[in-house]
């Protein structure tokens, strides 16, 4: 597996991973509610994902193996993780750990000392185990019960 910057040519495959990850893995968040899913997926189109890869104040990284996109990660420069979705087929193989580490390295290269994100319920334990801490009150997003504002001081273990 390699992690590299996405190009607009990756948009269709990256978009498919994002949508499958939300639909199949984030059940604790959307609980199968079609209204929540509809709002969450509304902007998850290849056209929109292509704009995430435009390099304009943001980075989009893809984890790729044998030509297939396994996961998609986005950073709003310099220090906000805005996208982190793994393919259901690639879950629990260390892909997201590697991708988040790459996003953190990108933020460090941009001069950031801290990094922020809004975690799903599904990924909350994953981020806690990687040094992120809750900051502030959970918020509902797309109608979900709770998304967790989190931060991590960069350059410290884990």
What value does the CA radius of gyration of the chain take, rounded to a whole number of Å? 15
Name the nearest CA neighbour of 127 among 78, 93, 81: 81
The region of 2-10, 37-45, 50-58, 116-124 touching ligand COA under the rule CB under 6 A is 116-124
Query: 20, 23, 25, 116: which one contacts ligand COA (CB under 6 A)?
Result: 25
Q: Does 21 bind ligand COA (CB under 6 A)?
A: yes
Structure tokens at 32: 């199968």
Window 118-137: contact mask with ligand COA (x via CB under 6 A): -xx-xx-xx--x--------
DSSP for 41-69 reads: HTT-SHHHHHHHTS-SSEEEEEEEETTEE
**Residue with smaller CB distance to ligand COA, 53 or 150:** 150
Which residue is it, tokens 């790459």? Answer: 102
Window 62-101: contact mask with ligand COA (x via CB under 6 A): ----------------------xxx----xxxxxxx----
**Residue with smaller CB distance to ligand COA, 59 or 111:** 59
Q: Does 26 bind ligand COA (CB under 6 A)?
A: yes
Cα–Cα distances (Å) from 86 to 56, 64, 134, 154, 156, in that order, read 23, 11, 22, 23, 25
Give how far the C-alpha of residue 63 lies from the chain's centroid of Cα atoms, to the nearest Å. Answer: 12
Specify whether the CB–CB gap between 130 and 34 falls below 8 A: no
Work out how close the CB of 125 gets to ligand COA at its nearest, in angstroms, rounded to a whole number: 5
**Residue with smaller CB distance to ligand COA, 9 or 98:** 98
Interface with ligand COA by CB under 6 A: which residues?
21, 25-26, 84-86, 91-97, 117, 119-120, 122-123, 125-126, 129
């Amino acid at each position: 597996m390699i992690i590299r910057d996405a190009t607009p040519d990756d948009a269709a495959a990256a978009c498919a991973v994002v949508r499958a990850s939300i639909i199949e893995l984030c059940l604790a968040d959307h609980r199968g509610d079609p209204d929540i899913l509809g709002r969450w997926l509304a902007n998850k189109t290849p056209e929109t994902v292509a704009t995430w890869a435009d390099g304009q104040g943001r980075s989009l990284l893809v984890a790729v193996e044998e030509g297939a996109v396994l996961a998609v990660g986005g950073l709003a420069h310099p220090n906000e993780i805005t996208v982190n979705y793994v393919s259901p087929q690639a879950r629990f193989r260390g892909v997201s750990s590697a991708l988040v580490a790459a996003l953190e390295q990108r933020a460090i290269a941009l001069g950031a000392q801290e990094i922020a994100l809004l975690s799903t319920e599904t990924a909350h334990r994953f981020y806690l185990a990687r040094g992120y801490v809750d900051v502030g009150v959970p918020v509902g997003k797309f109608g979900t019960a709770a998304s967790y504002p989190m931060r991590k001081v960069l350059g410290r273990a884990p």
